[in-house]
Chain A
Amino acid sequence: MTLFTVREAWTLIHGIFFGGGFLLAFTGGLALLYNLKAELLTTAGARRHVRWLKLATLVMAGLTWLAVLSGTYISYPWYRAAPPEGVVDLASYPRSYLMADPDLAFWHTFGMEWKEHIAWFAPMLATAVAFVVWRYGGHLARDSRLCWALIVLFVLAFAAAGIAGLLGALVTKAAPVL
């Protein structure tokens, strides 16, 4: 018995491991960033705090890159593959399957079309956050303006990934990549 096809397994890796892992790293990273304040931390505490923050932002940036690269170069070609001439059962061709049904076409024309583009905003934003955290480290505890700028970027990266993830899940529910 095959539990998952190769395509389904990759879809899971893309959405659950990379996408879901990103969302988890975001939660931890945001809490660490928000609490990085000189007046709240001892010198040793700040050093430890920054070490965890560096790890969370690095993981977050790495996972977003893996998510968009695996999505664009592995899953998406399966999604958009054109069915050969004469094929009637479109179940293995998700885009064609959605477009053939006026009630489902929305999931391609809006869902996938927005998801495939907006997802790419997340890794650039997350990488910017990771870079600044690694470059400035403990200095961020004394620069509240820069810290807040990073929180804004962090939340925007999460929003872009969240929109892409939600749309991806809904599109996959309407037309799974089999």
Chain B
Amino acid sequence: MVERKQERIPNGPAAAAILSAGVGSAIIGLMTTGAIISAGLKSALNWWSPAGPLTGKTSVGVIAWLVTWIVLHVLWKDKDVPLVRVLVVMLVLLALGVLLTFPPVFEALE
């Protein structure tokens, strides 16, 4: 059997990693639909012409993911947080990301 007397690690750092992945996904979704609605945003997200606005949309999402992760990690590193609630929020954010990157949805806003 595994040794059971080890010290318990707070779940805050795990929750920060989980939630931030949802935030990054939702931001990519928002950028994708945003670039359809706003020509200005689409142009602003064109960070590298050969790949077009995809570079900006995904880079903004990755930056948001990393910043959120760092901030939440610092805030929660010694804490226990309600993990189920964090997971539910992550799932909602991820679903939002999926919805906003789903072509029939953003094409309807074109």
Contacts and interface: CB of A to CB of B under 8 A. Distances in A.
Interface stretch (A2-10, A11-19, A122-130): A122-130
B14 A136 contact: yes
B50 A77 contact: yes
Contact of B21 (A110, A118, A127): A127
Contacts of A132: 13-14, 17-18
B77 to A, nearest CB: 10
Q: How large, as a class, is the contact surface on chain B?
A: 35 or more
B60 to A, nearest CB: 11
Contacts of B21: 121, 124-125, 127-128, 153
Contact of B14 (A81, A113, A149): A149
Interface residues of A, number: 41
Interface in A95-112: 109-110
B93 to A, nearest CB: 10
5 contacts: A121-B24, A127-B21, A128-B17, A146-B83, A149-B18
Closest 10 A/B residue pairs (Cβ): A77-B50, A117-B101, A128-B17, A38-B2, A124-B21, A128-B21, A46-B2, A124-B24, A132-B14, A121-B25
Interface of B: 1-4, 6, 8-9, 11, 13-14, 17-18, 20-21, 24-25, 28-29, 32, 48, 50-52, 54-55, 57-58, 61-62, 65, 83-84, 87, 90-91, 94, 97-98, 101-104, 107
